[in-house]
Amino acid sequence: MFNTGLVTKAKGILDKIRYGEINYKPTKLVTPTRLIQSRSQAWVGLEKILFDIIEFSGIKTNSAVEFGVEFGYSTAALANFFKQVTGVDIFTGDEHAGHYGDIYAETSNNLKDFPNITLIKADYKDYITSANDTFDLVHVDIIHTYDDTYACGLWGAQHSSCTIFHDTQSYPDVKRAVADIAKKTNKKFYNYRKCNGLGIVF
């Protein structure tokens, strides 16, 4: 019989060696006051550590851009802490999140009470070739392939003070891409292992 606690600990040690990740342990959990109901629950729990990440990384809170909005749960969470949030998504899903038709109108409606959120219906590839703005925080939660996470996340790390990546624990390709981005940009890779994993690069 395996001791699951020991297996998790051993995996953490291996990942530390393999990916240079530093285990992120928030010191403060703050639940944002304004959240939305979402058809997807994958991001639920992470809203409580956003404030801790902001304090820990020492970033400003003027602007954030999110790649991968879906129904808007994480976008709404970010909008509690950042003055302006831009959400970029094709709004038709992908092979990991699922294909659900065009949800742009549904997501816009979910976020109608957040005047500080701007939604852009676009592929991240088109957005990053035309935008050269910088942000206090970039959130990457698109299709979870190595190549897409690397391309989008590298742009994020080069255009923000702090970049966060969802699903580092549930998709090894995401974790590998995050580790490579941190190495390439000379930044540190902190990893929060709960809620499917959140990589924090700054």
Binding site for ligand SAM (CB under 6 A): 40, 42-43, 67-70, 73-74, 88-94, 97, 123-124, 141-143
Query: How do beta strands 160-166 and 198-201 pair?
Result: antiparallel
User: Would you tell me how many other CB atoms lie within 10 Å of the CB of residue 173?
Assistant: 16
User: Smaller CB distance to ligand SAM: residue 59 or 198?
Assistant: 198
Identify the sign of the CA torsion 42, 46, 48, 54: negative
Pairing of strands 63-67, 22-23: unpaired
Nearer to ligand SAM, 21 or 148 (CB): 148
| Closest residue by beta carbon to ligand SAM | 43
- CA–CA distances in Å: residue 14 to residues 20, 22, 172, 199: 9, 11, 13, 16
Q: Output the smallest distance, CB 19 to ligand SAM, in A.
A: 21
Nearer CB in complex with ligand SAM: 136/141 = 141
Q: Which residue, 67 or 190, is less far from ligand SAM as judged by CB?
A: 67
CB of 16 to ligand SAM, least distance (A): 26
- Least distance to ligand SAM, CB of residue 17, Å: 28
What does each C-alpha distance from 141 to 9, 179, 192 come to in angstroms?
26, 16, 15
Question: Which CB atom, from 30 or from 120, has the smaller least distance to ligand SAM?
Answer: 120
- Least Å distance, CB 170 to ligand SAM, is 10
Return the DSSP state at 188: -
Nearest to residue 103, comparing CAs of 118, 113, 93? 93
Least distance (Å) between residue 69 CB and ligand SAM: 6
